[in-house]
Amino acid sequence: MQTDVNNRKIWLDGQIMNVNDAKINVLAPTAQFGLNVFEGIRCYWNDEKQQLYVFRMKDHYQRLLRSIKLLELDCPYTESEMRQALLDTVRGNEYREDIAVRQTIFAKGFGSWGSSGPVGMFVSPIPKAKSSAEYNKKGLHCCVSSWRRISDDVLSPRIKCGANYINSRMAQREALRNGYDTTIFLNELGKVAEGPGSCLFIVRDGILITPQLTDSVLESITRDTVIKIAKDMGIEVQERSVDRTELYIADEAFLCGSAMEITPVYSVDKHLLTDFEGEITKKVHTKYLETIIGKCEEYSQWLTPVYICNVYK
């Protein structure tokens, strides 16, 4: 039986329980200082195959382990235990629909911001998957944020930790207050970085361009997916620094991420790019949607089936 959002089953420190019964200490460093690292992992339902596929599961755990390492958390869980926890949670809820899963490693107990443990883990499905308004739009009107993206020498955007999202929050709140759907950050050098919860691509003269990973962006799995599928379709891709003015003269642009998938950018700072999904964006978007639900044999290694799963990809 499928559970409703308020009664979903979640996994906490080795036990599956009702979300309302999952408790943490209010003094825990995760609650006080955002001392946690996490992944938002998508699972897509393929009706024809009657199967739910986890998308790029191994890549998510590899990034999670890198975040754990960089924050020096004493994580007691192995990659295989993390994976099992996700599968047990999703199976326990018997989902037969697209979902997102939040898997978080957090500092619990009575520690401080400097503590390395004790460390807990929870796994919680998010049935509606698209938790913010901007994730549900057909196209986005964006501004360039007056807030700079955090940089590697201050608070690395490479680490997917809760505290980093306060920088995202400042920028997103400003954008909404000023009537935009979302925002695009510049980095400390004034080059284009990323969105508050997504990566950015622009198209110029048929070439797909995205800021490089050292320009203050998260090492995004969707960004990597887009680069691979675009190259396989014969589209030239450049990873390089992008100027703010290139956003205004781009032929097309889109934001992408596990939650956002691929969403066209219609305008930046009121400079209109397109008011529809551009040709290259559409090509990549269509292939992406086919890939995540298991319609592309060539990318089947990215999918882990939930309901028969003993094979870990």
Give the interface segment with ligand PLP, choosing from 10-18, 208-216, 220-228, 289-297 (CB under 6 A).
220-228
Site string for ligand PLP, 232-271 (x = CB under 6 A): -------------------------xx-------------
| From 197, 211, 278, 305, residue interacting with ligand PLP (rule: CB under 6 A) | 197
Using CB under 6 A as the binding criterion, the count of chain residues that bind ligand PLP stands at 13
Name the strand (E) or helix (H) holding 286: helix 279-292
Is 125 a binding residue for ligand PLP by CB under 6 A? The answer is: no
Is 194 a binding residue for ligand PLP by CB under 6 A? The answer is: yes
Q: Is 160 a catalytic residue?
A: yes
Comparing CA positions, the residue from 4, 283, 248, 275 lying closest to residue 137 is 275
Alpha helix stretches (DSSP H) within the chain:
29-33, 57-70, 79-93, 165-177, 221-232, 244-249, 279-292
Is 215 a binding residue for ligand PLP by CB under 6 A? The answer is: no
Is 221 a binding residue for ligand PLP by CB under 6 A? The answer is: yes
Q: Letter for the amino acid at 167?
A: N
Rg (CA), the chain: 19
Which residue among the candidates 9, 160, 191, 287 is catalytic per the annotation?
Answer: 160
Give the interface segment with ligand PLP, choosing from 24-32, 194-202, 234-242, 277-285 (CB under 6 A).
194-202
**Contact predicate 107/30, CB 8 Å:** yes
* List of residues 6+ apart from 278 with CB closer than 8 A: 203, 251, 252, 264
Give the strand pairing for 119-126 and 99-107. Answer: antiparallel
Q: Which residues are catalytic?
A: 160
Residues of this chain that bind ligand PLP (CB under 6 A): 40, 168, 194, 197-199, 218, 220-223, 257-258
